[in-house]
Amino acid sequence: MKIRKINPAGQREPPAERPIKRRATKIHYGMSEIVITIVLVILALVIIIPLVVPLLFSFKTQLEFAYHPWALPKAIRWTNFIEAWKAVRIDQGLLNTLVVCFGSIICTIPPAILAGYVFARYKSRVTEILFYAILIGYFVPVQMVLVPLYRMEVSLKMNDTLYGLFLPMAAFGIPFWTLIFRSFFKSIPREMAESASIDGAGHWRTFFSIMLPLARPATVLAIIQVFMGAWNDYLLSLILLSDQNKFTMQLRVASFLNSYGTDRMPRYAAAVIISALPTLILYLIGHRWIIKGMLSGAIKE
Amino acid sequence: MNVFKRKAVLRTEPAKRKKKDPGRKVFVFLCVLPAILFLAVFLYYPIEETFRLSTMKTTGLSNEVFVGTDNYEKLFRDEEFLAGLRHVFSWAFWSIIIQLPLSFFIAFSLTYYSNKLTKPLQAIFYLPNVLPSAITAMLGKFVFAPNYGLIVSLGKALGWKWLASIDFLGNPDLAFWSVFAVATWAYSGFYVIYLMSRIEQIPKDLREAAELDGASMWCYARKIVLPELNYPLRILAILCTVGSLKLFDLPNMMTMGGPGNATVTLGITLYRHGFINWNYGKAAAIGVVIFVLSLVFTILQFSLGRKEDETI
């Protein structure tokens, strides 16, 4: 249709050809669309199946499972879940994990916003040097400093405390988020701050009443990301926590994996469900935000 | 005109300087202070300690003897460390060969045919990525466990003895690939949504023009989308490599590096030397090796970013 309009001579193209071509391409697209959608659905099933099959296994007794693993359970029995709950104690782990998550949000984001703002707006030789000093942190993997970190925390009696976990976690997050907030504040037009300072606002006033509100969307995404990071941490908590009462959710699950085998599969399956449920609920509620937050971090990386 | 200009300059310059000087320094100082404090305690000091420790032989908690580069020399004769190094690089290689093309296929077809299924499918593909690694490892064991695992049970139900008798995690030849399969399941989702967001940034008229010219989906993917994604794909390849250098969680929880050294990574050797054998010097030396290797790749990533500044 478009081609016909563009044609400068105003001539109509022979109408016989067009419909045949379009029909042909449409059928072609339809076929491959169906095939590819089927492939995608199969791949999605591969992702979902390991999360759904435990449900089928978990209501059975060991004997019932050994003979008919794939049949529907004869009765709904909760014994496996009760045993798995006692073995994992996910509730306690969850509480500790939440403390670590909030602690790490509070300790990561305000310093990163402040530093990012200064590095974006106050250029001098000193801030430049300080910026590179913080950038160093971006290049250092956690693994590199595990041993000294552990030794330091032991000598400060900070190991086996939750703040001893989220403070270093924040230190590892700050460089990255400083970079993000720096590029965010750089993208805000300079005139906004200048007009504020002409109106007599000082540095603090300009920052808190103009810049900080503008940074709200970026901050929300940062909070989600830092939360997910702390939620998923394993290595640091493995090194720094040895008291069972302080274990995070991850460590609870990991110690379950160490001490209970897969031989009693129904109980194991129940433990899988119990352990995965908090994250699944979180994702179900906030997947749009989680994906958005993940992307906002990734694009800047 | 000239006089006016000079006057204006004279009037504003001293005023500006006067107004800015005192408060500005305090503000800058107080803003940067918290970040620097955090890094000084939990990063700069441990970094310095790592370098120092890596040249020490430590036996007790306080007994340290300077040995120079002895720790490093020992590392390169250490079977376990060399296995870790090998695994880390083959892991990176196979992630780039398998995970990235798979993710590109999923991302491209999801964006090419956007319909009612696109959003739910995207959410499903990303789901494993938010699961904490302990739970991913748990699911991996659930799938690959001997006797009662998902695949073995499936083999039994179908009557395929060969499938039912495979020990995925206990067999040294298979353990690496089993863990790798779980990682592919878990991590590809991130690549998918990242590539999707990049494909969506490609101007729509490019696709319309290609379709008008009769380009097929395959042709459009190869001639237009792939070149446009050149930069993000390279970034992902580097992220894969750096990620493999730091690989620890999944192999540690699924197989603990075993059987033997079959799934040992650099992180696991560090953990074994430092926190099981309490050999701090050697562990610190491994830490330095991980740092140097990841530094090389991170600098590569930054230099790639510089070239296409508009994307950052």
- Give chain A positions within 8 Å (CB) of B145: 262, 265, 268
The pLDDT score that the predictor gives to residue A89 is 85
Q: Does residue B186 share a domain with residue B135?
A: yes
Q: For B86-119, how does the pLDDT look when each residue is reduced to its tens digit (9 = 90+)?
A: 999 999 999 999 999 999 999 999 988 878 888 8
Return the residue of A nearest to B280 by Cα: A147
Split into its structural domains, chain B has a count of 2
Residue B67 lies in a domain: no
> Nearest Cβ partner of A54 from B46, B142, B194?
B142
Q: What is the mean pLDDT of chain B?
A: 84
Q: Does residue B144 share a domain with residue B203?
A: yes
Q: For B183-199, how does the pLDDT look when each residue is reduced to its tens digit (9 = 90+)?
A: 999 999 999 999 998 88
Q: Does residue B179 share a domain with residue B31?
A: no
Query: CA–CA separation, B179 vs A295, rounded Å?
Result: 26
Q: Does residue B100 share a domain with residue B34?
A: no
Where is pLDDT greater, at A118 or A21? A118
Range from A138-152, A188-202, B288-302 carrying the lowest mean pLDDT: A188-202
Report phi then psi at A232, rounded to 5: -95, 0
Using alpha carbons, select from A143, A144, A135 the residue that is nearest to residue A177.
Answer: A135
Helix, strand or coil, per DSSP, at residue A130: helix
Q: Does residue B155 share a domain with residue B22?
A: no
Residue B69 lies in a domain: no
Where is pLDDT greater, at A17 or A64? A64
**Contact check, Cβ <8 Å, B39/A114:** no
**Contact check, Cβ <8 Å, B32/A130:** yes
> Nearest Cβ partner of B197 from A228, A254, A295?
A295
Range from A6-20, B204-218, B296-310 carrying the lowest mean pLDDT: A6-20
Return the residue of B nearest to A285 by Cα: B123
Residue B225 lies in a domain: yes
Sign of CA dihedral A275, A278, A279, A283: positive
Render the burial of B149-175: b for 16+ CB within 10 Å, e for the rest. bbbbbbbbeeeeeeebebbbbbeeebb
Residue B65 lies in a domain: no
Q: Does residue B148 share a domain with residue B97?
A: yes
CATH number at residue B162: 1.10.3720.10
Return the residue of A nearest to B53 by Cα: A148
Residue B64 lies in a domain: no
Residue B72 lies in a domain: no
CB atoms within 10 A of CB B231: 15
Q: Does residue B229 share a domain with residue B154?
A: yes
Q: Does residue B27 share a domain with residue B88?
A: no
Q: Distances from the Cα of B295 to the Cαs of A137, A141, B77, B95, B301, in angstroms?
A: 11, 9, 23, 20, 10
Q: Does residue B268 share a domain with residue B133?
A: yes
Structure tokens of A94?
Answer: 């969850």
Q: Does residue B83 share a domain with residue B24?
A: no
Q: For B119-135, how does the pLDDT look when each residue is reduced to its tens digit (9 = 90+)?
A: 899 999 999 999 999 99
Mean pLDDT of A146-164: 90
**Contact check, Cβ <8 Å, A140/B275:** no
**Contact check, Cβ <8 Å, B185/A54:** no
CB atoms within 10 A of CB B238: 20
Where is pLDDT greater, at A116 or B204? A116
> Nearest Cβ partner of A44 from B44, B125, B253?
B125
> Nearest Cβ partner of A114 from B31, B157, B299?
B31
Q: Does residue B150 share a domain with residue B7?
A: no
Q: What is the mean pLDDT of chain A?
A: 83
Query: CA–CA separation, A92 vs A85, rounded Å?
Result: 11
Q: Domain limits at B278?
A: 78-311
**Contact check, Cβ <8 Å, A257/B148:** no
Q: Which of residues 274-293 of A touch B (CB under 8 A)?
A: 275-276, 279-280, 282-283, 287, 290-291
Q: Does residue B151 share a domain with residue B27?
A: no
Q: For A25-58, how does the pLDDT look when each residue is reduced to its tens digit (9 = 90+)?
A: 444 557 888 888 899 999 999 999 999 988 888 8
ipTM of the complex: 0.83
Whether residue A120 contacts residue A192, with contact meaning beta carbons closer than 8 Å, is answered with no
